[in-house]
Structure 1
Amino acid sequence: MEIVKALYFDGQKDKSLTHNKKGDKYYYNTISEKEHISLVKEPGSIYLGHLALLFGAAILIKDVILDFYNRKEILIESLIAVGCDGTNDNTETNAGIIRLLEIAINRPLQWFIPLRHLLIQLNGVIQGPKAFSGAIEKSI
């Protein structure tokens, strides 16, 4: 069994292309609002895989993460930390994904959430994914 001490995940809703067969022909449809979740193992930033869901309810995402662990034979008992962005679906104290994972494995986990407000305070407003405008970026 594989050991994963820290799991990082991130989700994105986007359009996905699917195909259906009717008779001898394939028809392509675009499904919007399909949730894609990437899973990364730390340390080392090793890609574990990704999950695709029709919608991203926190309890469903928790279930597919646990199912992924079972299918890949990853030892859930080795998990000590979870990281993700600070959205409410991930970090809500009673029904967020991380809290639901803690309840499922019956023990607390270390949460790694970027401190966006602190970074904005120290560095200024982010101008874009490729813009280096803050004091931290300029010093690098």
Structure 2
Amino acid sequence: MVDSLDELVAELDVDAERALETLRRYDDACDPDEFDPHVLDGNATTGIRPPKSNWAIGLREPPYSAYAVTGGITFAFGGVEITPGAEVVDTRGRVIPGLYAAGNSTGGLFYDNYPGGTGLMNAAVFGKVAAEHVDDYLAAR
């Protein structure tokens, strides 16, 4: 933990000047009322992109700390349409011969939300189905 943003940025493997500019722009864009993490509090930013619509609190009070993070994508809610046999369907609703898909590249299984773990199960089940159909497709050639 450090007492200033300058100190914080100096400890990171980042472009310090650009990081400080970004942090200060964010800080200047915040004008929060009372912070309440349990409700949509309307503490928004103004003048930056992307805008933040709730829980935008400034960086005005030390101490500061930073943590290395990375994004994790479970799966996309969109993708190519497939049949129960994992065959890819074109935009006219016709199967594309010899093209199969499973997992994150497929769509149509979930809408708005999903039960945990089902993205991996989609890949496992349709991956097996696709592999079996590919084997049959290649054997027939």
Please report the TM-score for the alignment, with normalisation by the length of structure 2.
0.20
Structure with greater strand percent = 1
Higher relative contact order (CA 8 A, sep 6+): 1
Larger Rg: 2
Please report the TM-score for the alignment, with normalisation by the length of structure 1.
0.21
